[in-house]
């Protein structure tokens, strides 16, 4: 992969779970291709990607429900591949909860403890603790159908944590909840993670959720890891155009390489006269690539009034309180900018403005 330079390479000793060279084929189709990643003990890792990117496939392989076509998965240095799911000791929370409908909440939570032949008294105590952890102490005797969605979600979490697994997998755990409940549960999940300190892998296609919850994020697309890093790394220095657009918002404008000196590369935006000089550190494309994409976040674009007819034209402004969203037309492109509201008081639709791309905040990607 060409992206290795952007991946932090943690010391191997630190990794609790390690996936190396993992691929999964379904017949001819490839769901996941040559994925390697490591999760440190106590870390909350998010697998983020659009639908069909292979997140569930990777998770199912770690849990033991799918055998890898190639590659290895180890926990604390021990390979899991030969172990059946029930001997891996990995907790899992399913998107649709998968609570046993014929058992009460307490029986659901006791299930993994019973499978481990724990003493009755101990089971009762652990179940009680788990219920308290998810603030459902009074609900032990209910059946899962008698709970609301958020409550069922918490039971699923309690059940997956009660046997103190070394690793907890969560497949879109909040996907079935409405927006408000989702945010509440995110907070709660984060608190629980801090309290129990279990290593967790969270699958999601919601970038906000990943950014706010995860210690590190692996962005997947088309079965490959696009970038692996902390939320700040992903947001501030996306490794490619896909990540730039998927995490937060980016303007991606086709550009041509004009020239380079030792510290920067200058490009001209196609169809305009605008030339931007991008520092070497912000270049995510091979030197041989001439067709590039200039990436700039809306908040990194500066606007100033202009008299010339060659600049950009304001199409629409959208007042957000402190900030102002401005949609512009620059030649054939639509550009989104976000400026402090007080700087944009005079802007109206149809007005010509000069666009400024902050060089330090602009990045160059290979055009796809």
Partner 1 sequence: METAAPSNPRRIRAIAPVIVWMVLPALVIFGAVYLVPLAKLVAASFFRDGALTLSNHLDLIGSASFRDIVLRTFKMAVVVTFFTLLLGYPAAYFLSRLAPRRAALLLLLVTVPYLTSILIRSYAWIVLLGPTGLINRSLLWVGIVDEPVRLMFNMTGAYIGMVQIQLPLMIFALYAPMQRIDRTLLNAAQSLGGNRASAFFQVFLPLSLPGVLGGSTLVFLSSLGFYVTPALLGGTGDYMIAQAIQVRVSNLADYDAASAQGTLLLLVVVLAFVLLRRRLTDGISESAAPAATGQRVGNGLRTERMPEAVAQRLHPFFRALSEVLTWLRLPALYLAMAFCLLYLVAPMVVVVVLAFSDAAYLTFPPPDYSLRWFRAFFSDQRWLSALWFSTLCAGLAAVLSTLIAAPAAFALVRRRFPGRLTLYLLLISPLVVPRIIIGVAVLFAFVPLGISGTPIGFILAYALVGVPFVVVLFVTGLRRFDRDLEMAAAGLGATPARVLSTVTLPLLVPTIVSALLFAFIAGFDDVELGLFISGPNATPLPIRMLENIRLEISPQIAVVGTLLFAALIGVFGLHLGVSRLRGLRRRFAKKMILSGTPPRPGAERGAKP
Ligand X SMILES: Nc1ncnc2c1ncn2[C@@H]1O[C@H](COP(=O)(O)OP(=O)(O)OP(=O)(O)O)[C@@H](O)[C@H]1O
DSSP string covering 170-218, please?
A: EESTTTTS-HHHHHHHHHHHHHHHHHH--EEEEEES-HHHHHHH-SEEE
Which residues have C-beta within 8 Å of that of residue 255, sequence separation ≥ 6?
267, 268, 269, 270, 276, 292, 293, 294, 364
Q: Least CB distance from residue 100 to partner 1, whole Å? A: 6
Tell me the per-residue interface mask from 45 to 64 with Mg ion, x by CB under 5 A, - otherwise.
-----------x--------
Query: In the chain, which residue ranges form alpha helices assigned H by DSSP?
Result: 55-63, 105-115, 120-133, 149-161, 179-196, 207-213, 231-236, 241-246
* Residue 362 in the binding site for Mg ion (CB under 5 A): no
Tell which one of 3, 83, 98, 260 touches partner 1 (CB under 8 A).
Answer: 98
Choice between 57 and 198, CB closer to ligand X? 57
Tell me how far apart the alpha carbons of residues 7 and 3 are, in angstroms, rounded to a whole number: 7
Of residues 25 and 235, the one with the C-beta less far from partner 1 = 25
Strand order in the sheet with 323-330: 301-305, 352-357, 312-319, 323-330, 333-340
| Angle CA 247–252–255, to nearest 5 | 145
The least distance separating partner 1 from the CB of residue 269, rounded to whole angstroms, comes to 44
Q: Minimum distance between the CB of residue 198 and Mg ion, rounded to whole angstroms?
A: 21
Question: Which of 1, 10, 26, 256: binder of ligand X (CB under 6 A)?
Answer: 26
Nearer to partner 1, 107 or 188 (CB): 107
Report the nearest approach of ligand X to the CB of residue 213 (Å).
Answer: 17
Q: Does 53 bind ligand X (CB under 6 A)?
A: yes
Encoded tokens for 34 = 């040559």
Contact positions with ligand X (CB under 6 A) in 174-233: 205
Is 65 one of the binding residues for partner 1 (CB under 8 A)?
A: yes
Which partner in partner 1, ligand X, Mg ion, none is near 16 (CB below 5 to 8 A by kind)? Answer: none
Rounded-to-integer distance, Cα 87 and Cα 269, Å? 57
Footprint of partner 1 on 153-172 (CB under 8 A): 159-160, 163
Interface with ligand X, residue 49, by CB under 6 A: yes
- Is 55 among the residues that bind ligand X (CB under 6 A)? yes
Q: Does 71 bind ligand X (CB under 6 A)?
A: no
Contacts of 186 (CB under 8 A, 6+ apart): 174, 209, 212, 213
- Alpha-carbon dihedral 180, 181, 187, 189, rounded to 10 degrees: -150
Q: Does 96 bind partner 1 (CB under 8 A)?
A: yes
Residues that bind ligand X (CB under 6 A): 26, 29, 31, 49, 51-57, 205
Residues that bind Mg ion (CB under 5 A): 56
């Amino acid at each position: 992969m060409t992206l290795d330079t952007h991946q932090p390479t943690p010391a191997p000793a630190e990794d609790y779970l390690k996936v190396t060279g993992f691929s999964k084929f379904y017949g001819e189709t490839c769901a996941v291709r040559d994925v390697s990643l490591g999760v440190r003990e106590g870390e909350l890792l998010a697998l983020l990607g659009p639908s069909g990117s292979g997140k569930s496939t990777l998770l199912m392989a770690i849990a033991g429900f799918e055998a890898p076509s190639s590659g290895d998965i180890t926990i604390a240095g021990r390979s899991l591949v030969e172990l059946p799911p029930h001997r891996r000791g990995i907790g899992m929370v399913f998107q649709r909860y998968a609570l046993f409908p014929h058992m009460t909440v307490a029986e659901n939570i006791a299930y993994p403890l019973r499978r481990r032949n724990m003493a009755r008294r101990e089971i009762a105590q652990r179940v009680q603790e788990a219920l308290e952890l998810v603030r459902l102490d009074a609900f032990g005797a209910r059946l899962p159908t008698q709970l609301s969605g958020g409550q069922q979600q918490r039971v699923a979490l309690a059940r997956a944590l009660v046997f103190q697994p070394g690793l907890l997998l969560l497949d879109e755990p909040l996907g079935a909840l409405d927006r408000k409940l989702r945010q509440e549960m995110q907070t709660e999940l984060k608190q629980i993670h801090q309290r129990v300190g279990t290593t967790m892998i969270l699958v999601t296609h919601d970038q906000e959720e990943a950014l706010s919850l995860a210690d590190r994020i692996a962005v997947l697309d088309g079965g490959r890891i696009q970038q692996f890093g902390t939320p700040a790394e992903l947001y501030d220095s996306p490794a490619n155009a896909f990540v730039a657009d998927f995490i937060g918002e980016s303007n991606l404008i086709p550009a041509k390489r004009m020239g380079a000196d030792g510290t920067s590369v200058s490009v001209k935006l196609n169809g305009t006269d605008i030339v931007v000089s991008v520092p070497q550190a912000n270049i995510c494309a091979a030197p041989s690539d001439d067709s590039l994409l200039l990436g700039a976040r809306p908040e990194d674009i500066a606007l100033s009034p202009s008299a010339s007819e060659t600049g950009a034209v304001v199409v629409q402004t959208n007042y957000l309180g402190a900030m102002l969203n401005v949609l512009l037309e620059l030649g054939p492109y639509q550009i989104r900018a976000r400026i402090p509201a007080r700087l944009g008081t005079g802007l109206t639709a149809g007005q010509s403005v000069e666009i400024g791309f902050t060089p330090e905040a602009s990045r160059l990607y290979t055009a796809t």
